[in-house]
Structure formats: structure tokens, C-alpha cells
């Protein structure tokens, strides 16, 4: 794919996947199945591998996961619950096998397990007693759902041995429970759940445990979060121990000596999955030996020693009745197919993305066509093709308009881009989408100011730009639909609280092109105040490693606009903080720290710091934290139960610190 086409597709995929992440992890209302999402994510990863210059800090590939709900108490996972990389075909699995063998040699054993389609949870036991259960959340922080997990009868409240241990598993709803639940919902004239996974997730996030108890959930354990002093040396040994302790584990697992054995297992369960009494969406393949797992390590998002094979997506035929156009906050016009409702991979689909005008022309899609629809990765509905044999002659061609559907301004196609754009900065659709982005959780995080409330406020002309949010009054809010006095009061408190956010939240919320959440934090750390950033030149911005030409140009162009200057003044007058409040950035060349410019590896369990805290403090002092030991490693920080990384560092003669030495350096620099 040419670079210009690749760039356009990468941006489309990033926007789409971020929206689905939000729907799945924040709203608990996923609009697409996992397989569809995974396939699009796979496409994005491939494009970014081919064009690494297109990777942005806010890309879905740079993250582990979603945002934590505020409804439940937050729980920090002592060991991160990382997501798995995905494979979609034999070639992907053989590539995984080659990477494993290149890393640890040919003497390996894999263990294959069924990938239960449910909700990942963590269970913590102290002296054999169940004390806490949590959702995966964003991988580092989950939600405390202990009371609901206690209602699952397959979870032991007391272990057969007095172990203190953290274990991981997948909570799910058996098909029989799902059918019974939806029958009851139909009797009550309530909307049924789309699939067992959604039903399980919804049940475990009920505030009333009695509701969760009535749903007849189940759980399979698949791993141990902290091995500790269990003596376990392999994944299979860990599962055996879990069974001995009284946990329910899936007996369909199998050890495989070769990748051909793995492929045979995958083929077997691709055929047999319908025979199970619960849903699976793939197969998980792991390197069995824990010493090999530690040697391979992990990225920030996923372990290198495991992969999830995802089953092929289901394809169905339906009728495309119409094409709807939507306008994003950057002015991109996106066509969406409106379909005759059809069941695809367990959910009813009525809409499917068509991405852009070129795709419609390429596939010769017409209104009234019979089309093949699938969920890419079983998540995002897409139109695969047209069934030409079913055309009657009554089908109608579709053409993109010349003018914006929202403001009637002329549409334009920027050179090198596929998408049509509305370039009118006062386009109401773009303004509304920008307001929704500004109040979102990763930006100013104004609780209670969701899409529907923003739409009402905008429609009533109570807000026309983000500064107007800070002049809203009780009288204005209580006149809105479904907005009582208490809700209005809570919203005003949330708006007031958002004024105290650190600068990076505001920068991301402003929606500057190419500036994602991570880039916003980097910029805020380097410039510290809005005034200093507004005065920065492209050359100054380019001095920051993470900022490229496009981002630097976009930032300077944004702040050159007179309307933006007026907006910043309004925000300042409203009392919105314009200063960075996080840990100060200390440049390596100005540091007297022995960590400055050094490559550092963390291994073992840290007691006084979390891994993320240690990484952040090392980076502030000019160090670079990596995941594996090599000749380029300058320093290894070894916590408790350090394993093969410590041995390798000793062999290579690398300097080794314990946690106390690291803390002494950090405290000496007042980080």
C-alpha cells in the first residue's frame, strides 16, 4: 500500500478502534464483537509495522487496554493483566513459533487452552481465604467486584491449602443460563442480551449482588498472577496446582511439542466449538515453561510467549437499504451502510462501516443490493462484497455529496487523503463532536456530561465552544430533559473539579490534530505552561523526540488562530488550570543521576514501588527502561524472586541493584 493510502487507513482505523474501545470498556455497551475488533487491530498493527513513521502515541496498538469505570472501587493489580497478541491464520501461528524458537531455541513445549468468551477477572486469596476479586480493567487497575464474584459457586471461598495467592480466570455465562435469562427478559418486555459474553459482563457489574447471583455464572481459572513460593515451574503445572487447590480449570487443554501439533488442536476445536456448553472465541497458545516465559518477556501491552488464535468471522447476506453520512470532529465524512437487520456472530447488525467513497466505488455498492456482511475479527460489521447475481435492475447508485450535510459548506479532499472533509471550522457537527471529545474520560473527564447531554446543550445553544461549559448555571441545566436538581448539581461539581486538571488533559481535550493523550503529556512535561507552549516554534517542538514534523506543524498552526487565542483567554478567566501538575521532567544532560542515559531492566517483585512507578521515576532521571537483558543493558534492578534475567545479567557482567539502591538514587534526586 502506498504511503498516502496507508496513512489515511491508519488514521481511520485508529479513530474507529478508539471508539470501540470506549464503547466496550467505558460504556459497557460494545457495538461490535471481539473478532471484528481484533481483525481491524491486526490490520492496523501490520500497517504500522510497514510504516513505523505513522505510529502515534494515541494509537490503539500503544495501549493495553480500556478506561476504568467509576462505579466500583479501583483495585491495582500487583502484576499487570496484559492482553494477548492475536493470530488469524496458520501463517500467523508459524510466525509466532519462529519468534519463540529464535528467542529460546528448539527445546520448547506449548500448552493450548480454549479461549473462553467472557470477562477476565483476578481473585486474591490470603491464607487460603478469598478476600478480593477484580475485573481486568485497563490491565493495571480494575474494579472491585468481590461481592458479585462470591455468588459464582465454582469459585472456592476457602482453598484446600492455606495459600496466599492471586489467580486469574474467565467468568462466563453458560448457554443454558443465557437462554433462560433472555426468556425471562422477554417475559418482562425488556431488551435481551445480544450474547453470553455481554450478559456475563453486565451481570458482574451489577451493584446489587443478588442480581449477579440469579444469573448462574461460571468461571474457569487459566493462570496464576504471582507465582511466589508455590514451586510452580510451568503453565501446565500451575493449572494442576489450581485444580489441587479446589479451583475449576478447563480439562480440554493439551501440551504440544510442535507447531503442527498446535495447528491440529486448533483445527479440532474450530470444528467442535459448537458442541461445548459455553462460548469460545479462539485458542490460547502459551510457552509452557515459566523460565522460558521470563526469558522472552513482554511488551507494554502483551507477553511475547503467548498468542491467541481467533476463529474465522461468520459471513451472512442481507440487504443494504441506504447509506448514512456522519461528520467527525476533524471534518471527515464517513459513510455507513444501513442494513436489513441480520444476526452476525451472535449479535444483530443494522449498520456497517463503508469507510470512504473509494471503497463504495471499488466494491460497486448500490442502494438495494444484496450484500455479504461479516464482523472483521468478529467485532466491526463491514460489507465484504455485493452479490451481483441478485441484482434486479432497481438498485440505485450512491454518490457522495458536494456539500456538508450539516452546514452545506463545500467538501474537499486534501491531497494524499482518501476521505472527504468539511473544512468549515464553524460546522455544527464538528463543533458538537469536538465538545464530546473535550469532556471525555481521557480528556477533561467531566462525569455526567455525556453525548446526549452535550447534544441537548448544543441544540439549545447553551454551549457553542468548550469555554461555554464553564459558564453553565443551575437554571440552565434543570430545564434539560431528564436533568433533575441533583443531577444538575453533580454535573456542576464535576465541571468545577475539571478546572483543576493538569495541562495535558486540557491539551488532549482541545483536539489539536495529531496530538493524542500520550503526546499531550509529553508536550505538557516539556513546556509546563500553556503560555510557553503557545510561543513555541516548530524547531523547539521538534527537539522533543516523540514529536514529528506533522505534529509540530499542527500545534503551531493551531495556536496561530485568533479564535484559539480568544478561547485560551476565556478558559483562563473561567479558572481552568493551564499548568502541568505532574512530575517534572529532568533532562539527562542536566542530571547528576547515575541513571541518566542508561538502559535499565526491572525484574522480580518490587515491594516499595510498583513497576509503573519505578519505570516513571527512572525515565524522569533520564534512564530508558526495557524489557529484556542484552549486551546493551547498563543496569538491572532485581526485586524479590528475580529469575533468569538476573542470571543472564550476572553472566554478562551487568551492574545489578536491589530496590533499596534504586530508591536511594531516586530519593537523592528528589523525584
Q: What SS3 class is residue 296? A: helix
Catalytic entry in 29, 73, 74, 115: 115
Helix axes 611-620 and 659-668, enclosed angle (nearest 10): 40
CB 617 within 8 A of CB 654: no
Count CB-CB contacts under 10 A for residue 293: 21
The partner residues of 71 in beta bridges, in order of sequence, read: none
Tell me the HSE value of 562 on the side-chain side, using a 13 A CA sphere. Answer: 0
Contact predicate 109/123, CB 8 Å: no
Strand partners, 135: 121
Q: Calculate the CA dihedral of residues 26, 196, 194, 137 and round it to 10 degrees.
A: 10
Contacts for 222-225: CB closer than 8 Å, 24+ residues apart: 222/113, 222/116, 222/168, 222/169, 222/170, 222/249, 222/250, 222/284, 223/167, 223/168, 223/169, 224/165, 224/166, 224/167, 224/168, 225/77, 225/78, 225/79, 225/81, 225/122, 225/165, 225/166, 225/167, 225/168
Q: How far apart are CA 601 and CA 586, in angstroms?
A: 20
User: Going by C-beta distance under 8 Å and a sequence separation of 6 or more, which residues neighbour residue 44?
Assistant: 10, 13, 14, 17, 59, 60, 61
HSE (side-chain half, CA atoms, 13 Å) at 322:
2
C-alpha 391/C-alpha 394 separation (Å) is: 8
Half-sphere exposure of 431 (CA within 13 A, CB side): 18
Q: Could you confirm whether 631 is annotated as catalytic? A: no
Strand partners, 353: 336, 382
C-alpha cell at 363: 466494491
Contact 281/115 with Cβ under 8 angstroms?
Answer: yes
- 353, 9 Cβ separation under 8 angstroms: no
Distance CA 380, CA 18 (A): 12
Cα(219)–Cα(130) distance, rounded to whole angstroms?
15
C-alpha closest to that of 474 among 496, 459, 452, 447: 496
Compute the residue count for the chain.
Answer: 671
Query: How far is Cα 488 from Cα 68, in angstroms, rounded to an integer?
Result: 23
Instruction: At 108, list the grid cell.
Output: 520448547
CA distance 640 to 609: 12
Q: Are 230 and 241 in contact (CB under 8 A)?
A: yes
Strand order in the sheet with 635-638: 624-626, 599-603, 635-638, 655-658
**Please, which residues have CB within 8 angstroms of residue 525's CB and are 6 or more apart in sequence?**
504, 580, 582, 583, 584, 585
Q: What is the set of active-site residues?
A: 115
Amino acid at each position: 500500500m502506498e504511503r498516502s493510502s496507508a496513512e489515511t487507513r491508519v488514521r481511520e482505523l485508529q479513530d474507529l478502534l478508539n471508539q470501540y474501545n470506549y464503547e466496550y470498556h467505558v460504556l459497557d455497551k460494545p457495538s461490535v464483537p471481539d473478532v471484528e475488533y481484533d481483525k481491524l487491530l491486526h490490520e492496523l498493527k501490520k500497517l504500522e509495522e510497514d510504516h513505523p513513521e505513522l505510529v502515534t502515541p494515541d494509537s490503539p496498538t500503544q495501549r493495553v487496554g480500556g478506561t476504568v469505570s467509576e462505579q466500583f472501587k479501583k483495585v491495582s493489580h500487583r502484576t499487570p493483566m496484559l492482553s494477548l497478541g492475536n493470530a488469524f491464520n496458520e501463517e500467523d501461528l508459524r510466525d509466532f513459533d519462529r519468534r519463540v524458537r529464535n528467542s529460546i531455541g528448539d527445546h520448547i513445549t506449548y500448552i493450548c487452552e480454549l479461549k473462553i468468551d467472557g470477562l477476565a477477572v483476578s481473585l486474591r486469596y490470603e491464607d487460603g481465604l478469598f478476600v478480593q476479586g477484580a475485573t481486568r480493567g485497563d490491565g493495571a487497575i480494575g474494579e472491585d467486584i468481590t461481592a458479585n464474584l462470591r455468588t459464582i459457586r465454582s469459585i472456592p471461598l476457602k482453598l484446600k491449602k492455606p495459600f496466599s495467592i492471586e489467580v486469574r480466570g474467565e467468568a462466563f455465562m453458560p448457554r443454558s443460563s443465557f437462554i433462560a435469562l433472555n426468556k425471562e427478559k422477554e417475559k418482562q418486555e425488556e431488551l435481551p442480551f445480544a450474547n453470553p459474553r455481554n450478559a456475563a459482563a453486565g451481570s458482574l457489574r451489577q451493584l446489587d449482588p443478588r442480581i449477579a447471583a440469579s444469573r448462574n455464572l461460571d468461571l474457569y481459572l487459566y493462570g496464576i498472577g504471582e507465582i511466589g513460593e508455590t514451586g510452580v515451574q510451568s503453565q501446565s503445572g500451575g493449572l494442576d496446582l489450581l485444580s489441587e487447590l479446589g479451583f475449576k480449570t478447563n480439562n480440554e487443554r493439551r501440551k504440544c511439542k510442535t507447531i503442527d501439533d498446535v495447528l491440529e488442536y486448533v483445527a479440532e476445536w474450530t470444528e467442535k466449538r459448537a458442541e461445548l456448553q459455553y462460548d469460545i472465541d479462539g485458542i490460547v497458545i502459551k510457552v509452557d515453561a515459566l523460565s522460558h516465559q521470563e526469558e522472552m518477556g513482554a511488551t507494554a501491552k502483551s507477553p511475547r510467549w503467548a498468542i491467541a488464535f481467533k476463529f474465522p468471522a461468520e459471513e451472512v447476506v442481507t440487504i443494504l437499504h441506504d447509506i448514512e453520512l456522519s461528520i467527525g470532529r476533524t471534518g471527515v465524512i464517513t459513510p455507513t451502510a444501513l442494513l436489513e437487520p441480520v444476526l452476525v456472530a451472535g449479535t444483530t447488525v443494522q449498520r456497517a462501516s463503508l469507510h470512504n467513497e473509494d471503497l463504495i466505488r471499488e466494491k460497486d455498492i448500490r442502494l438495494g443490493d444484496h450484500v455479504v456482511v461479516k464482523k472483521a475479527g468478529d467485532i466491526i460489521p463491514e460489507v465484504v462484497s455485493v452479490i451481483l447475481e441478485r441484482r434486479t435492475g432497481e438498485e440505485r447508485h450512491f454518490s457522495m455529496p458536494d456539500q456538508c450535510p450539516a452546514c452545506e459548506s463545500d467538501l474537499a479532499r486534501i491531497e494524499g487523503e482518501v476521505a472527504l472533509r468539511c473544512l468549515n471550522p464553524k460546522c455544527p457537527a464538528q463543533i458538537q463532536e469536538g465538545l464530546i471529545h473535550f469532556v471525555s474520560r481521557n480528556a477533561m473527564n467531566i462525569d455526567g456530561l455525556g453525548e446526549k447531554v452535550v447534544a441537548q446543550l448544543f441544540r439549545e445553544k447553551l454551549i457553542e465552544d468548550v469555554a461555554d461549559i464553564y459558564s453553565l448555571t443551575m437554571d440552565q441545566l434543570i430545564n434539560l430533559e431528564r436533568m433533575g436538581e441533583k443531577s444538575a448539581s453533580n454535573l456542576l461539581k464535576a465541571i468545577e473539579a475539571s478546572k483543576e486538571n493538569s495541562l495535558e488533559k486540557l491539551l488532549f481535550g482541545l483536539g489539536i490534530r495529531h496530538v493524542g493523550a500520550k503526546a499531550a503529556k509529553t508536550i505538557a512535561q516539556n513546556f509546563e505552561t500553556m503560555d510557553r507552549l503557545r510561543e513555541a516554534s516548530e524547531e523547539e517542538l521538534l527537539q522533543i523526540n516523540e514529536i514529528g514534523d506533522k505534529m509540530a506543524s499542527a500545534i503551531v498552526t493551531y495556536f496561530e488562530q485568533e479564535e484559539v487565542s480568544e478561547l485560551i483567554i476565556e478558559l483562563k478567566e473561567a479558572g481552568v488550570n493551564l499548568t502541568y501538575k505532574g512530575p517534572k521532567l529532568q533532562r539527562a544532560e542536566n542530571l547528576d543521576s547515575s541513571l541518566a542515559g542508561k538502559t535499565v531492566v526491572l525484574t522480580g517483585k518490587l515491594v516499595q514501588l510498583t513497576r509503573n512507578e519505578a519505570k516513571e521515576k527512572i525515565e524522569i532521571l533520564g534512564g530508558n527502561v526495557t524489557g529484556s537483558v542484552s549486551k546493551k543493558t547498563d543496569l538491572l534492578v532485581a526485586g524479590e524472586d528475580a529469575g533468569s534475567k538476573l542470571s543472564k545479567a550476572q553472566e554478562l557482567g551487568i551492574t545489578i541493584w536491589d530496590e533499596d539502591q534504586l530508591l536511594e538514587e531516586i530519593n537523592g534526586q528528589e523525584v
